[in-house]
Structure 1
Amino acid sequence: MKKKILDEIKAYETIILHRHVRPDPDAYGSQMGLAEIIRATFPKKKVFAVGTPEPTLSFLGELDEIPDEVYASALVIVCDTANTERIDDARYSSGAKLIKIDHHPNDDAYGDLLWVDTSASSCSEMLTSFYENFSEELVLNETAARLLFAGIVGDTGRFLYQSTTEETLRLAAKLVTFPFDRFMLFQNLYQRPLKTVKLSGYIFENLNMHQNGAATIYISKEILKKFDVSAKEASDLVSSIENIEGLKAWIMFVEDGEEIRARLRSKGPIINGLAKEYRGGGHPLASGATVYTQEEVSEMEQKLDQICERA
């Protein structure tokens, strides 16, 4: 499949890369990292990375704005996105051919070509492997290495999560041979404004933890306004409680417009099945869902408690 994808990249003069909405470092890193590899290898090709910009990740790079007609004869590659509902920019389906590259469970097998590897820590790890497989043909420069490293770091929680494997570390070690400023990259990835740090204090004070090791926190629009943070900034704090003793799995509910975003995390119990019940999905230990009523919030909380009780 990797060879087929490389052949398609060689065949098209225009290549457009997409990723998921509300991007994280791996979404940006894989999308723009692959775009940079293609640009460096084939400087005459027209290569674009599109989507709604995420201000907190602007230090990784800037996205492109392109008119609809560019898609007419283009190869479209979607990175790090499990299902079509989460693809940022609906024009992804307007190209001549569509490729999916992802490390989430393949519940939505979209695309003309699909490369899905659920054993990979991140889509950025997959694309580092992609470069390594064809290193005699592809060019990996400092910019691409920095982007892919950021993606791996983001999705492994600085190499702390169970998704980190020997292969993850081996490929990351190849990337750090490039002279990008790792210290500044980590600073940009993990520094938090004071208002967000104060919100984390609210989260610890108001966490609802059950005897079975399940926990939930609900962040309303009023709380977002009180701390002057966005739904995205609040959601980024989902892992801030992970070191609590006795904690098995948790959900952070964040009001976002008319929706309530549910971010699920686990130290062992499988929780992506629960996410799928509520218009979501993801990894076994890290998933997301969307609910619309307090009744659904209560249902999810009860079901999470049952999952932890059985674990």
Structure 2
Amino acid sequence: MKEIRLDNFIDEFDKSQRIVITNHTNPDGDAMGSALALQRILEKLGKTVHVIVPNPYPKFLWHLTGNDRVMIYSNGKKAANAQIEAADMIFHLDYNAYHRSADMEEALRAAQAKKVMIDHHQQPESWPDFIYSDTVMSSTCQMVYEFCTMYNWDQFLDKESAECLYTGIVTDTGSFKFSATTSRTHEVAGKLLDLGVESQQLQNKIFDSQPAARLKLLGTMLGQMETSADGTVVLLYLSKAQCDALGYEKGITEGFVNYGLSVDGAQIACFMREEEGIVKISLRSKGLLDVNELARASFNGGGHKNAAGGRLDTDIAAALAHAKTHLPWS
């Protein structure tokens, strides 16, 4: 489903000097790539731009240009709130509901700035002044590229901003493997390559520069993998004790859920990771199986048809029991 509500956007943009770009809690490659690329483009248009994210993000994204200027809300709420309050316009990237901004929600709700949503998740809320939503688009990074072409801003793309956008596309499509990848996705990726992106070098930084702890955690997770009787559902998990013992750090388990879908016959994969008092959940599916609806109904989350997330306010043992009750476990 597509919703484009951008009437008078450019008039408001021209009047806006101070701009804040935000994204969702636990930012991933698409969230950070889109934010940092857009920041670089808007600065070339003469705007004063701050990227403010709810909490820290994985080290494998720290190479992106602009990383050193990102404001982490959880590390400095007073300074971040001052920028949000002073903003003339706020871009909300890669999320479509206020609660996805976590502790930033109150400040964002109170902000008097014009609000622009660019996002590809299902069921967007209606509060933004301007919306560009497309639930079949591969990534918010692809959407930012398309958004820029609407206003001829793509002329301001350079190698650095192209690397940011390519990062989001390649991570959100599973290196062009997932179903939302289209011929247009490849076309946009090709244009970014033409701007100087070195695909192999960039993907090495993203996927092949992981700490040893990641492999230890992966081995532990795979060693205790469970499958439904018919083999269509794969359940993966890590307890907090295991994470603590093996050196977990933010982002280190990114992509673990996809190992479940690689099992022959698997149609749904669920990965659970326990933190203090909560269990975070990633869901993936193949074909027509809709894990977005499953996440919304049973796991306090949501996302896309074939990729969603959620959380349970419980421990890992109770979460596993809950999953076996609400997944098609047989």
TM-score w.r.t. the length of structure 2 is: 0.86
Task: Evaluate the alpha carbon distance shift between residue 112 and residue 133 of structure 1 in structure 2; reply closer, same or farther with a 3 A threshold.
Answer: closer
Q: Displacement of 1:173 after TM fit?
A: 0.9
Counterparts of 1:183-222 in structure 2, within 5 Å, are: 183-191=200-208, 192-212=210-230, 213-222=232-241
Larger deviation, residues 50-59 vs 22-31? 50-59
Task: Evaluate the alpha carbon distance shift between residue 150 and residue 136 of structure 1 in structure 2; reply closer, same or farther with a 3 A threshold.
Answer: closer
1:68 to 75, 81, 86: 81
Q: Displacement of 1:231 after TM fit?
A: 5.8
Q: Does structure 1 residue 265 correspond to structure 2 residue 288? A: no
Structure 2: stretches of 5+ with no match in the other structure:
72-78
Cα distance in 1 for partners of 2:233, 2:13 equals 46
| 2:34 paired residue number | 30
Q: CA-to-partner distance for each residue in 1:225-248, whole Å, 9 max, x for gaps?
A: 221113642354222333211111
Q: Superposition RMSD on alpha carbons, in Å?
A: 2.1
Structure 1: stretches of 5+ with no match in the other structure:
none
Q: CA-to-partner distance for each residue in 1:37-72, whole Å, 9 max, x for gaps?
A: 1112x13x2111112332422112234344533333
2:324 partner letter? E
Q: Displacement of 1:299 after TM fit?
A: 2.6
Cα distance in 2 for partners of 1:281, 1:245 equals 26
Cα distance in 2 for partners of 1:163, 1:156 equals 7
Larger deviation, residues 19-28 vs 225-234? 225-234
Task: Evaluate the alpha carbon distance shift between residue 20 and residue 162 of structure 1 in structure 2; reply closer, same or farther with a 3 A threshold.
Answer: same
Task: Evaluate the alpha carbon distance shift between residue 83 and residue 14 of structure 1 in structure 2; reply closer, same or farther with a 3 A threshold.
Answer: same
Cα distance in 2 for partners of 1:67, 1:286 equals 31
Task: Evaluate the alpha carbon distance shift between residue 280 and residue 67 of structure 1 in structure 2; reply closer, same or farther with a 3 A threshold.
Answer: closer
Cα distance in 1 for partners of 2:262, 2:69 equals 35
Cα distance in 1 for partners of 2:80, 2:247 equals 35
Q: Does structure 1 residue 275 correspond to structure 2 residue 295? A: yes
1:290 to 311, 317, 325: 311
1:77 to 91, 94, 117: 91
Preserved CA contact (<8 Å) 2:236 2:260: no
Q: Displacement of 1:118 after TM fit?
A: 0.6
Preserved CA contact (<8 Å) 1:2 1:130: no
Preserved CA contact (<8 Å) 2:52 2:80: no
Q: Displacement of 1:2 after TM fit?
A: 4.7
Task: Evaluate the alpha carbon distance shift between residue 134 and residue 209 of structure 1 in structure 2; reply closer, same or farther with a 3 A threshold.
Answer: same
Q: Displacement of 1:152 after TM fit?
A: 0.6
Q: Displacement of 1:27 after TM fit?
A: 0.3
Task: Evaluate the alpha carbon distance shift between residue 67 and residue 165 of structure 1 in structure 2; reply closer, same or farther with a 3 A threshold.
Answer: closer
DSSP-derived class of the 1:289 partner: strand
Q: CA-to-partner distance for each residue in 1:71-106, whole Å, 9 max, x for gaps?
A: 334201100013211115333232421111100002
| 1:305 paired residue number | 328
Q: Displacement of 1:24 after TM fit?
A: 0.8
Cα distance in 1 for partners of 2:98, 2:206 equals 27
Q: Displacement of 1:35 after TM fit?
A: 1.2
Q: Displacement of 1:107 after TM fit?
A: 4.2
1:11 partner letter? K
Q: Displacement of 1:150 after TM fit?
A: 0.7
Preserved CA contact (<8 Å) 1:14 1:47: yes
Q: CA-to-partner distance for each residue in 1:164-221, whole Å, 9 max, x for gaps?
A: 0111111111111111333321111102222211221222221101133111122101
1:140 partner letter? L
Task: Evaluate the alpha carbon distance shift between residue 73 and residue 197 of structure 1 in structure 2; reply closer, same or farther with a 3 A threshold.
Answer: closer
Q: Displacement of 1:136 after TM fit?
A: 6.4
TM-score w.r.t. the length of structure 1 is: 0.91
1:179 to 196, 219, 222: 196
